[in-house]
Structure 1
Amino acid sequence: MIEHVLRLYPAAYRRAHGGEIAATFREMTAGEPWGSRLREGAGLAAHALRVRLGPGPAAPAARVLGLAYPFVLAAAAAACGLHLLRWYAGFAASPAPAGVQLRADLSGAWGALLVAALLVFTGAATALAGRGRVGLPCTVAGLLAFAAAAVVSGPAFGDPVVTPAATVLAAGVLLACPPDRRPGRGTAGPAGVAGAAIALVVAPRAVLDARLLPWPSTDYGCWPLLVLGAAGLLLTWRHGLRGGPALAATALACPPLLADALLTARTDPTALAVLAAVLPAIAVSVPLAGRLGRSRRTSR
């Protein structure tokens, strides 16, 4: 494993420090189970990405990545949660025996998609709960597996290009974020707001799919983006963040939910029009919320 991870480092860095990194890795993981080796390897891969891209803890890019980190977790978890809910709604509505359905659904690329979605949802929730050493590798592994399965399944899944690209981008943002920029546990902080965003995206969809309300869904996939935008607005206003970093962080967090929305809305012109109106509204509102937040803090 370590030989493949070392290739992620720039050549000059690898020549200077590769032997030391490999020796330390082997010493730390000697006799450890596969899961521990995978976790340490994921940590090294993240470090290699940060070395290659250069976002040190004090760099402006690191600040943006730190702002985006909890919301990328939330967006990935929400998108995969919606995927699992759609699968379960079809499973519950089908007249076929449960065993027959499970054997069909859990085979091939579709089975990989379901397992990967469950891994992302569980891993992201674990990371937002303050267990990043366990949750982050699970989330990244799930995102990459989801992307690979979506490519393999092709048109059968719905989109073999946009969805994989969005999930790989999300994994890259999570890996690139410096560890000391990742928010810790806290119900009132970014992690708590991001966790609430997951619930606000998934719970209404579950209620509608269970037919507990008399009206059908007409969100066209826009509701998750609105929830994510509202969460970003709340933190931007509360902390008086500058518009540029806050907007960049929001943009980095959007792709998983945007890909899911496009999958839902791509055949409906009305849905695409609504989606086209939501994104500029979020882009305008985030910097405005930051200015209002700074004015509030100054007037105190």
Structure 2
Amino acid sequence: MNEQHILEQRTPQAGRLLIGLYPARYRDLHSEDIAATFAEATEGLNGRALLREHLDLASHALRLRLRIASTDPAGRMLAGTAPVALALAAGECLSGLLPSLTALATTSPQARPRLFAVEVVLVALVFIPWIVALLLTATGRWRRARPVAVLAALIDLGVALVVLGAYDRAPGALLRACALAALVLLAPPDLVDTGRRGRWEAVAVALATGVPLAVLMDSRVTLLGWSWYEVPAMVGFWALLVVSLLLLVHLSARRPDRLRALGIALGPAPWLLEYGIGATHWVVAYFVVLIGGAVAVGGVVHLVRRMLGAEPA
């Protein structure tokens, strides 16, 4: 009891509250070890480093409580979902960044200096965190990318509340931001693929999403006579198309990880929530056709391999 009392004194109040998030049985068995490890890890830390430790402790407790830890099948699935969702968000960020920079370049800072300064700050606040999160993911530093991505999602949440509050898109934008933050925070970081293949896949998804959408956002580009702004679900459709191609690559492998593949298929889930409001039948149709098509083609590839004797039954 004396040692436990000393550990409780060393553990900050916030840490003790976060330890309370663990399941009761797990807390009874490991509370002393958790408190000692947390106190040692946070000693002398402040600012972002301390916030990162708090996020790690809270996310680990929630993963155990929700049965999505590293040893759970749902945890393996989320480890495939989170980097795809982050890459899609970064790609959408890139698609909006290029037109925003073009608009800033054509604006005269001498005419309205205050408005120009506000626009520059808003562009930096909205776009830079997602780009930094993507760069950290591309270099294999997923643990550092997580808090940056959560911050970016919270900024998106604030923008949805302040800027889109008067529009119909606000509820969908709120759902998307909350879902993105939850996916990135709750996915087991030790299961996320930080190898060369995983890093390249994240970059490829971001670029394949952002570059075409940046072209589509040009008002001169039309789709069957409709401008991009008249087809808001186009973002959801394109995200599903990109993910379906990545899913096909994974399912066509000789020994596919089906749980991770299922996680990849759920990568566009935040966008399904956003664009599903008011256009549910279209979004469901996109998901069934594209993701279902990728699964079917992957199955055909394995069937052909077995018929040719290149793969055991």
**Which TM-score applies when normalising by structure 2?**
0.74
Which segment is superposed worse, 80-89 or 22-31? 80-89
> Any gaps of 5 or more consecutive residues in structure 2?
1-13
> Any gaps of 5 or more consecutive residues in structure 1?
none
**Alignment CA distance shift 1:3-1:119 (3 Å):** farther
Q: Matched residues in 1 for 2:62 and 2:175: separation?
A: 17
2:128 is the counterpart of 1:118? yes
CA-CA distance at 1:182 after TM superposition: 0.8
- Structure 2 match to 1:166: 176
2:242 is the counterpart of 1:227? yes
Structure 2 residue matching 1:8: 3-state secondary structure: coil
**Alignment CA distance shift 1:99-1:224 (3 Å):** farther
Q: Please, what is the CA RMSD of the aligned residues?
A: 3.5
**Alignment CA distance shift 1:280-1:141 (3 Å):** same
**Alignment CA distance shift 1:182-1:67 (3 Å):** same
2:36 is the counterpart of 1:29? no
CA contact (8 A) 2:22 2:65 kept: yes
CA contact (8 A) 1:232 1:286 kept: yes
* Residue number among 132, 138, 141 corresponding to 1:128 in the alignment: 138
* Residue number among 289, 292, 295 corresponding to 2:303 in the alignment: 295
CA-CA distance at 1:196 after TM superposition: 0.6
Structure 2 residue matching 1:161: 3-state secondary structure: helix
The letter of the residue matching 1:25 is F
- Structure 1 match to 2:9: none
Q: Matched residues in 2 for 1:133 and 1:171: separation?
A: 14
- Structure 1 match to 2:253: 238
After superposition, what is the alpha-carbon deviation per residue over 1:126-147, rounded to whole angstroms, capped at 9, x for unaligned? 1232011211221123223322
**Alignment CA distance shift 1:98-1:66 (3 Å):** farther
**Alignment CA distance shift 1:59-1:52 (3 Å):** same
CA-CA distance at 1:32 after TM superposition: 2.7
Q: Matched residues in 1 for 2:168 and 2:103: separation?
A: 16
After superposition, what is the alpha-carbon deviation per residue over 1:219-277, rounded to whole angstroms, capped at 9, x for unaligned? 732323312222222222235547776345412x11344466579xx7xx8xx886554
The letter of the residue matching 1:226 is L
Equivalenced residues, count: 285
The letter of the residue matching 1:203 is V
* Residue number among 172, 185, 190 corresponding to 1:180 in the alignment: 190
Q: Matched residues in 2 for 1:99 and 1:6: separation?
A: 49
- Structure 2 match to 1:155: 165
**Alignment CA distance shift 1:18-1:91 (3 Å):** farther
**Alignment CA distance shift 1:249-1:36 (3 Å):** same
**Which TM-score applies when normalising by structure 1?**
0.77
Bigger radius of gyration among the two: 2
Instruction: Decide which structure has greater helix share.
Output: 1
Q: Matched residues in 1 for 2:151 and 2:50: separation?
A: 13
- Structure 2 match to 1:76: 89
